[in-house]
Structure 1
C-alpha cells in the first residue's frame, strides 16, 4: 500500500519533468543549430568574397605623353627653312632653330637667348647681321581672369627675357639687352632706368611705363 502510494507520487513528479525536458529540446536545440549553421554559412560567404582588384596605373610612357603639351612656333628670318613648327612645351629657342634647319651664313645670333623657353604661338626671329629685328607680339604667360592689377605688371628687376617680350616694342634682342644691363649694373632703382638700356628711348618707355613695376 505504501509502495504503491510512493510509486504514484514519483510518477506525478517525473511526468512534468519529462515534458519540460522535451519542450526544452524543441525550443532551444534547433535554434542553437540554426545559429551555428548561420555562422558557418556567413563564414563561407565571407571567405568566398573576392577582394577588389588593385587599380592599374597607366604605363609611364602614357603619362609622359599626357604631361607633354604641343606648341606651335613661327620661326622667321635668317634660318634655312622659315615656317611654322610643332614643338613641345618646355622646348628652347635652340630647338626651334634646329627644326628650321639651322642658321643661314648671314645670321646674327649674338642677341638671341638660345636657352629661352618657348610658349605656344611664339615667334622666333633671327636677324641678318646689322639688321634691327622687327617686334612681334608674343604670347602672355599671365593667367587670365580677375585679381590684383599689379599682378599683371612686369617687374623689371625680376622678369626674364620671355616675360619682357610681353611688353610692346620689346623683341628678343631688346629683352636680352635689358637682362644683360641688369646683370652688369644691378637692379633698377626707378622705372625710367630702362632708358639707359640701348634701344629703349623716350617713345618706347612711354608705352612701357604703365605696364612695368619695380
Structure 2
C-alpha cells in the first residue's frame, strides 16, 4: 500500500503507467514480433507500394481562326485561348500596305472558328457606292410596276416612261426623263437621284 493507504492497482494513473511501461518493454525486446501483434500483416501489405495517382492536367484546346484581307499572310491560324484580334493579325504577319483597321476592334477577344477580315483603304466606300448603285432603278430595264415605286410616279407616268424608251430607244441620259409628258422640273429633281440608265 502507498502513503495514502490504497493499493497501487486501485490508482488509475499508476495502472496506466504500468501498462505503458509493459508495452514499451515488449516493443524493445521483441521488435518485429511485437509490431506484428499490434499491426496485422494484412494492413502492412495493404500500405506497401501504395501510390497516390496524380490527376491529369487538363488540356485547353487552341482557338482556330481564319485571317484574310489586307494582311501579309492570309491563312488559318491557331491561337492560345484568350487571344485578341491584334494577336491574330500578328500571327498573319501583320497588316499589308493600305490596310484599313478603323472599323476593327483590335482589343476584342477572338472566338473559335471566327473569320477576321481586314479591308483595304477605300474598300468600304466602294462597297457603299456599289450598294447604292444596286438600289437605283434602271430606266432602260425597269418594268412599269418597278417605276411606280418612285415618288410621284403613278400608273400613267410609269407607262409613259416605258413608252418613251420603246419608241425612241434606250435612255442615254437621266435628263431625257424631262421629255416624258407629265414630268416637270420639280418631279424630275425628286426622282433623278433614284434612277440610272444602265448598264
Asked if these proteins are the same fold (TM beyond 0.5), I'd say no
Which has the greater radius of gyration? Answer: 2
- What is the TM-score of this pair, normalised by structure 2? 0.39
Q: TM-score, normalised by structure 1?
A: 0.36
